[in-house]
């Protein structure tokens, strides 16, 4: 298919202002790992053929029908904040379909039935601001809350630090309007009904399908009233062991916890770097500093009994009969703005670490496979200890933080991949993953499969399960046009020989 | 091609926090106009992975350099430095926007941004000629640097005019460079251009001020103020002047009791902090001191104010 013919057709459908073949629109600007992954895939430029910004579902239907007939790849894209290479174009003439420009409207807010209907390009923070005026919110908050869009959240089943309390995006999607690969349109679920077991749960199938099965044009989300009151507490123990002893106690306290995060001392360095920057700039007025200790827990308590809960928590943590001389440093943050800055700093701990180094650590190619693992919560200490030992063995500086109650650990290595150390890094990755699997864990708890993690799926599920996934994909998208060769259901692109990797960069 | 173009390419973690903040992006929601895209475009240009395109120019030159993205950026990317370096590169390649070239040429040829005769630089003072005529190029500790916008744009004449009237009332002696005042050079700094010709402009203004034994330079335009305060000292590290924004000296006069506002204004007002004055220069309080000293005036703070404006 000639590029100019595709361009002419797209312009015919969307108009000249909503189609671009300009490099500035086509480069992979929005995926953190794109810059790293580029080096792993031979002959893939990660550059789309076309950017289209459709104005409505009719334009989407026309584009999809045309693309399906001519086997042209389409990648639906929201805010470009995915972390697995989900929206990286890997095929020639890929049409990047961006919803942020036009399809960004909240179509309906129904407080009585507690739902909203939105287009995929609605930004999460924008929806939250609108809902907050009526005392409501959409609770599935990911780390990218400042920038992500609902379409991307649903496409990736986004979740975050508070998922153990509030669930993931999937738990809030009541239904979807979807354009399928043949251009037909379907509706799943019921926007007004919380409960329904009528037929297969197609909504759940499409949520988290990473754009491989259909394109969302309307999303029906369940909303909730905002929990009243919140207070944040930093509990800093000397080391990991004591912190996890404390977690067991906290779990049995029967208090309403919205967030419980473990952060290591490197993460705290990153948090404090950002807090210091904000203080210096005058963005925050009062100094907030997280004690730099290896067994630090960040907790947010919510609900009407939050004061009582705080007291229970403080009493339990200050119990010298249990902790002996290892009582923690406790910092309580009451002001909403202070709490916001604390949690912002936690969200941005990774970049904060980079900025705190002099010169800043700039990992040009990092280790994508160990970024977002999860193990059963009871195995989390074991994982962290083994990961630390392996990291030491490989002289790699690990940064770990995680959502303790759901076992999700983010392990970031600041190692820059070079020609000299690439084999070592490959071995490191394999060793860490072996630990993850031996503990019954998963390669990705939040970030998704996308491009890179496809290679590990079969190991995690086995051939038969992957075959079912492939059959689903084939039946819904027989021409493989929707985000092709991602999610482990297409042809997995060949990864460059690790030995040759350093040369490309 | 400057290394500044690639400096933050790898550091940017593409989180998109800047999307929420960028005022230019929010007007049209095109990804290529986000700060993170500008960083990416600069890096890709540097790495020769793409060429200069229409949208590249639009992306790089549409930024207003307000700097709010840098406040939000968790990686600490210096977006403004990157953009200025990239502008410089694009201009050097002869691909810069035509209007920008015209403006830059005007500064070199006419010493102002409007392609007007610099001899007319005192047009703004026609209504106060009696007060001003003896001030021009006379030695004084305080000098007023008027800037191109207020010197030539009729709708802005009242700004320096009012300041002169206030100075007159408060008994502040001052001088001006008159037609010997040249453009401060800010448009060149905004384009990341620092060369001998730009230095010549800067040195001209500095030397003329030195000749008048000036100790304090008062500037009303936040753009000129930032240029004098930040860029001039890079060229002349021993700048012998204190650079003050007009609000700073007015606040000082009020504090010292040399200026009293008597007339009552029963109005509610908001103050929108200019980026160059507030976020880039850290002047927040002076304008508020003045407003709070106006009898009857009620100052209401905007939701986003000062460094966050």
Summarised one tens digit per residue, pLDDT across range A51-88 is 999 999 999 999 999 999 999 999 999 999 988 889 99
Residues of A in contact with B284 (CB under 8 A): 282
Confidence grade of residue A500 (pLDDT, cut at 50, 70, 90): very low
Confidence grade of residue A29 (pLDDT, cut at 50, 70, 90): low
Confidence grade of residue A452 (pLDDT, cut at 50, 70, 90): confident
Check residues A359 and B137 and name the one with the higher pLDDT: B137
Q: Mean pLDDT, chain B, as a whole number?
A: 95
Q: Of the candidates A24, A29, A101, which has its C-beta nearest B14's C-beta?
A: A29
* pLDDT value of residue A283: 86
Q: Give the chain B residue whose CA is nearest to the CA of A102.
A: B29
Q: Model pTM greater than 0.95? A: no
Of A164-178, A281-295, A419-433, which range is least confident? Answer: A419-433
Q: Is A502 an 8 Å CB contact of chain B?
A: no
* ipTM of this complex prediction, to 2 decimal places: 0.92
* pLDDT value of residue A394: 87
**Mean pLDDT of the region B171-197:** 96
Among A29, A147, A366, most B C-beta atoms within 10 A, so best to mutate, is A29
Interface contact A282-B307, CB threshold 8 A: yes
Q: What is the dihedral of CA A422, A424, A427, A428, to 10 degrees?
A: -100
Q: How many percent of chain A have pLDDT more than 70?
A: 91
Q: How many percent of chain B have pLDDT more than 90?
A: 92
Q: Is B11 an 8 Å CB contact of chain A?
A: yes
Interface contact A123-B20, CB threshold 8 A: yes
Residue A403, phi then psi, degrees to nearest 5: -95, 95
Please tell me the distance from the alpha carbon of residue B226 to that of residue B222, in angstroms, as a whole number: 6
Please tell me the distance from the alpha carbon of residue B9 to that of residue B31, in angstroms, as a whole number: 16
Please tell me the distance from the alpha carbon of residue A276 to that of residue B229, in angstroms, as a whole number: 25
Interface contact B32-A24, CB threshold 8 A: yes
Q: Is A101 an 8 Å CB contact of chain B?
A: yes
Interface contact B306-A282, CB threshold 8 A: yes
Confidence grade of residue A396 (pLDDT, cut at 50, 70, 90): confident
Residues of B in contact with A32 (CB under 8 A): 13-15
* pLDDT value of residue A498: 55
Interface contact A29-B55, CB threshold 8 A: no
CA of B60 to nearest chain A CA: how many angstroms apart?
Answer: 10
Does position A502 have pLDDT exceeding 60, yes or no?
A: no
* pLDDT value of residue A499: 53
A286 CB burial (10 A radius; 0-12, 13-18, 19+): exposed
CA of A70 to nearest chain B CA: how many angstroms apart?
Answer: 27
Of A9-18, A311-320, A340-349, B280-289, which range is least confident? Answer: A340-349
Confidence grade of residue A354 (pLDDT, cut at 50, 70, 90): confident
* pLDDT value of residue A30: 59
**Mean pLDDT of the region A213-231:** 96
Interface contact B76-A354, CB threshold 8 A: yes
**Mean pLDDT of the region A402-416:** 83
Q: Is B306 an 8 Å CB contact of chain A?
A: yes
- B274: CB partners within 8 A, 6+ apart: B222
Residues of B in contact with A352 (CB under 8 A): 74
**Mean pLDDT of the region A15-20:** 98
Of A265-279, B150-164, B262-276, B290-304, which range is least confident? Answer: A265-279
CA of A305 to nearest chain B CA: how many angstroms apart?
Answer: 31
Give residue for tokens 């007015």: B250
Residues of B in contact with A20 (CB under 8 A): 55
Of A20-34, A322-336, B261-275, which range is least confident? Answer: A20-34
Q: How many CA atoms lie within 13 A of A381 on its CB side?
A: 13
**Mean pLDDT of the region A162-189:** 96
Cβ(A89)–Cβ(A49) below 8 Å: yes
CA of A321 to nearest chain B CA: how many angstroms apart?
Answer: 41
Interface contact B75-A351, CB threshold 8 A: yes
pLDDT in tens, B201-219: 999 999 999 999 999 999 9
Taking only residues 246 to 285 of chain B, the set having a beta carbon closer than 8 angstroms to any beta carbon of chain A reads 282, 284
**Mean pLDDT of the region B177-185:** 97
Does position A364 have pLDDT exceeding 60, yes or no?
A: no
Radius of gyration in angstroms for the set of CA atoms belonging to chain B, rounded to a whole number = 21
In eight-state DSSP terms, residue A327 is P
Interface contact B15-A352, CB threshold 8 A: no
Residues of B in contact with A347 (CB under 8 A): 74
pLDDT in tens, B104-131: 999 999 999 999 999 999 999 999 999 9
Q: Give the chain A residue whose CA is nearest to the CA of B57.
A: A24
Residues of B in contact with A22 (CB under 8 A): 32, 53-56
Q: How many percent of chain B have pLDDT more than 70?
A: 100
pLDDT in tens, B249-265: 999 999 999 999 999 99
CA of B115 to nearest chain A CA: how many angstroms apart?
Answer: 33
Check residues B76 and B287 and name the one with the higher pLDDT: B287
* pLDDT value of residue A417: 63
Q: Which helix (H) or strand (E) holds A251?
A: helix A240-251
Does position A315 have pLDDT exceeding 80, yes or no?
A: yes
Does position A503 have pLDDT exceeding 60, yes or no?
A: no
With helix as H, strand as E and coil as C, how does B192-212 read?
CCCCHHHHHHHHHHHHHHHHC
Q: Mean pLDDT, chain A, as a whole number?
A: 90
* pLDDT value of residue B169: 93
Q: Of the candidates B29, B59, B74, which has its C-beta nearest A101's C-beta?
A: B29
Q: Name the token pair of B113.
A: 């941004």
Q: Which of B73, B72, B80 is nearest to B4 (CA)?
A: B80
Residues of A in contact with B56 (CB under 8 A): 22-24
* pLDDT value of residue A505: 31
Interface contact B74-A125, CB threshold 8 A: no
* pLDDT value of residue A32: 63
A and B: number of Cβ contacts within 8 A: 122
Taking only residues 41 to 70 of chain A, the set having a beta carbon closer than 8 angstroms to any beta carbon of chain B reads 53
* pLDDT value of residue A414: 65
Q: Which of A439, A408, A412, A444 is nearest to A162 (CA)?
A: A408
Does position A255 have pLDDT exceeding 80, yes or no?
A: yes
Give residue for tokens 């995060």: A261
Q: Is A282 an 8 Å CB contact of chain B?
A: yes
Please tell me the distance from the alpha carbon of residue B261 to that of residue A269, in angstroms, as a whole number: 50
CA distances for B102 relative to A119, B7, B105, B108, B185, angstroms: 44, 30, 5, 10, 14
């Amino acid at each position: 298919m000639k590029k100019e013919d595709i361009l002419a057709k797209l312009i015919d459908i969307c108009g000249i202002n909503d189609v671009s073949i300009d490099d500035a629109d086509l480069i992979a600007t929005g995926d953190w790992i794109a810059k790293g992954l580029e080096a792993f895939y031979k002959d893939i430029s990660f550059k789309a053929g076309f950017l289209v910004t459709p104005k409505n579902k009719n334009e989407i239907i026309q584009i999809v029908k045309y693309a399906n007939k001519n086997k042209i790849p389409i990648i639906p894209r929201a805010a470009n904040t995915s972390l697995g290479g989900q929206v990286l174009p890997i095929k020639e003439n890929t049409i990047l379909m961006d919803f942020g420009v036009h399809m960004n409207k909240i179509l309906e807010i129904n407080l009585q039935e507690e739902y909203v209907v939105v287009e995929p390009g609605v930004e999460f923070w924008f929806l939250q601001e609108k809902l907050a005026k009526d005392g409501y919110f959409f609770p599935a908050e990911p780390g990218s809350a400042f920038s992500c869009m609902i379409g991307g959240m649903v496409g990736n089943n986004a979740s975050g630090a508070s998922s153990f309390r509030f669930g993931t995006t999937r738990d809030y999607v009541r239904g979807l309007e979807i354009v399928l690969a043949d251009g037909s349109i379907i509706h799943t679920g019921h926007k007004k009904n919380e409960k329904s077991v009528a037929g297969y749960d197609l909504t759940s199938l499409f949520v988290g399908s990473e754009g491989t099965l259909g394109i969302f044009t309307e999303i029906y989300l369940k909303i909730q009233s905002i929990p009243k009151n919140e207070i944040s507490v930093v509990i800093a123990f000397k080391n990991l062991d004591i912190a996890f002893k404390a977690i067991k106690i906290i779990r049995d306290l029967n208090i309403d916890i919205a967030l419980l995060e473990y952060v290591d001392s490197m993460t705290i360095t990153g948090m404090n770097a950002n807090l210091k920057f904000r203080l210096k700039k005058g963005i925050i007025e009062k100094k907030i500093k997280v004690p730099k200790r290896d067994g630090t827990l960040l907790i947010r308590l919510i609900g009407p009994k939050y004061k009582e809960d705080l007291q229970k928590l403080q009493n339990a943590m200050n119990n010298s009969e249990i902790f002996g001389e290892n009582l923690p440093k406790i910092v309580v943050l009451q002001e909403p703005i202070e709490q916001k800055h604390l949690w912002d700093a936690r969200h941005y701990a990774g970049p904060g670490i980079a900025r705190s180094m002099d010169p800043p650590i700039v990992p040009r190619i990092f280790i994508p496979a160990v970024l977002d693992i999860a193990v059963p919560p009871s195995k989390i200490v074991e994982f962290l200890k083994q990961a630390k030992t392996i990291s030491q063995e490989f002289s790699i500086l690990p940064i770990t933080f995680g959502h303790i109650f759901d076992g999700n650990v983010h392990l970031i290595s600041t190692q820059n991949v070079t020609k000299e150390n690439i084999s070592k890094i490959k071995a490191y990755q394999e060793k860490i993953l072996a630990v993850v699997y031996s503990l019954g864990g998963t390669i990705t708890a939040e970030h998704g499969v996308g491009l890179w993690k496809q290679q590990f799926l079969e190991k995690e599920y086995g051939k038969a399960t992957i075959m079912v996934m492939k059959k689903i994909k084939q039946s819904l998208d027989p021409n493989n046009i929707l985000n092709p060769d991602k999610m482990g259901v297409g042809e997995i692109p060949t990864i460059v020989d690790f030995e040759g990797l350093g040369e490309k960069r | 091609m400057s290394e500044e173009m690639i400096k933050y390419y790898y550091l940017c973690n593409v989180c998109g926090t800047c999307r929420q903040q960028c005022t230019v992006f929010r007007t049209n929601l095109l990804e290529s106009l986000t700060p993170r895209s500008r960083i990416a475009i600069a890096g890709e240009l540097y790495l020769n992975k793409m060429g200069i395109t229409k949208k590249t120019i639009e992306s790089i030159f549409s930024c207003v350099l307000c700097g709010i993205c840098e406040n939000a950026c968790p990686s600490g990317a210096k977006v403004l430095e990157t953009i200025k370096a990239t502008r410089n590169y694009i201009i050097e390649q002869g691909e810069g926007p035509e209007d920008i070239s015209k403006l830059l040429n005007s500064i070199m040829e006419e010493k102002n941004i409007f392609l007007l005769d610099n001899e007319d630089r005192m047009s703004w003072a026609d209504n106060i000629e009696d007060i001003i005529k003896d001030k021009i190029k006379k030695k004084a500790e305080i000098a007023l640097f008027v800037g191109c916008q207020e010197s030539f744009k009729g709708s802005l004449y009242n700004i320096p005019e009012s300041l002169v009237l206030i100075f007159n009332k408060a008994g502040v002696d001052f001088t001006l460079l008159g037609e010997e005042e040249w453009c401060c050079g800010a448009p060149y700094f905004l384009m990341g251009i620092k060369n001998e010709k730009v230095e010549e402009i800067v040195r001209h203004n500095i030397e003329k001020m030195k000749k008048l034994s000036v100790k304090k330079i008062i500037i009303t335009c936040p753009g000129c103020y930032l240029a004098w305060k930040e860029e001039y000292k890079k060229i002349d590290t021993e700048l012998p002047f204190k650079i003050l924004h007009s609000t700073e000296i007015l606040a000082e006069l009020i504090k010292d009791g040399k200026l009293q506002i008597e007339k009552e204004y029963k109005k509610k007002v908001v103050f929108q902090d200019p980026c160059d004055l507030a976020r880039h220069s850290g002047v927040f309080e002076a304008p508020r001191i003045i407003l709070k000293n106006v009898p009857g005036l009620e100052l209401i703070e905007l939701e986003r104010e000062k460094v966050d404006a």
